[in-house]
Every structure is written in C-alpha cells, then in structure tokens.
A and B are shown apart, each in its own frame.
Chain A
Amino acid sequence: SAVISQKPSRDICQRGTSLTIQCQVDSQVTMMFWYRQQPGQSLTLIATANQGSEATYESGFVIDKFPISRPNLTFSTLTVSNMSPEDSSIYLCSVGPSGGQETQYFGPGTRLLVL
C-alpha cells in the first residue's frame, strides 16, 4: 500500500488567513483526492486532483476557496483560503489504486482550528 504523509499535522490559524496543506506519496499515483471531515461528521470529497490537469471540484466547493496544485505524480497541495471558524476540520488526502488492488488509502490528516 502507498505511504502518504501530510504537512502540517495540525495548525491553529486566525480567520481571514490562508493555510496550504501538503500531501506526499511514496509512489507515483494517477489520482489524488482531498476530503474534509468536520467535527463529529463523516468525510466529504472536496476535489479530485490529477497531474497535468485542473482539479475537479465537488458541488459546494470552489477553486477560489480551495485551490489545489498537483505538480507531479507524488505530490499535491490544498490551500484553505480566507479561513473562517467554519473551516475548522480535518483535511485528508487520499490516493487512488496502484497496482492490482482496488482501494483508496488515506493520509494521516491535517487538523485545522480557525479562531
């Protein structure tokens, strides 16, 4: 299975600022995904990030608020822009299947608190 790391692991930010979250994978993967888990809630897909193309955003998420980069097959960033307390969540990246196994593996998550 892929080994995924995220930076930072947690942060406390002031409203109105922006935070960029990094996701690094130990192998090349075609598809990377970004999810949000609000406190006490389930996971919601924010966007799909494929290398060499614009990210595809789910309903309710827009590029201006959550710009995503995918410069190569092992790395992606998600920026949470102009943050408000409602953005306090865990943000997780995941990678699509590699090799023969059909699954999606998740990074450890970034715990964000916006004051």
Chain B
Amino acid sequence: ETGVTQTPRHLVMGMTNKKSLKCEQHLGHNAMYWYKQSAKKPLELMFVYNFKEQTENNSVPSRFSPECPNSSHLFLHLHTLQPEDSALYLCASSQSHRVIDTQYFGPGTRLTVL
C-alpha cells in the first residue's frame, strides 16, 4: 500500500541506550523527511534531506542524529534520549523538497523512552 517503509514499528529503549530508526522509500523520490508526532501536538518537522544533503534542521537536539546515505534510505540515530522524546516518528518522501510535491508518509515508529 505504501511506498515508504519504516522499521522497527515499535521501539522501547532506556535513556542510556543507542538505537536507530530506518526509513526506506521505493518511489524514486529525491527528498526525505523526519517528523515527530506527539500526543495532542501538531506534527513537527525535524529534518529534511534533498539529494542526500540536509537542507533543514528544525532546532532538533543533538541526541537525534540523522543520516541519509542515498536518496532511498534515511536513518535517525538515537542516543541518551529523554522520556519526553517518546512519540511517533514519521518518515516521509517527496519528489523534491518543494511543498507542492506531495509528501508520502511511512507508518511510523512508535518510540517509548523509559
């Protein structure tokens, strides 16, 4: 159904752990995004990559480290997270980083930080 896949779908980690979220798009798009979706808060843009280059960092704490090795893959490396970082992390892709190009979202990774 979706051309954007995310793994794992659920993740529980302690504050001292290091983990990574993975996103892969099969749509031939050039732009990829990380969003954070917290309960009762608007969807927040975290990072944008266009042709593997980071074009947007929305004042995200350094404990979140993105990596985009190619236009099809996007990672979010997590370390020393806080309980308030618990949220649904959504990946999206679009043909370009222009807003008029529809963003296609993955199903998200539900992250719980203990």
A binds B: no
**Chain B interface residues toward A at CB < 8 A:** none
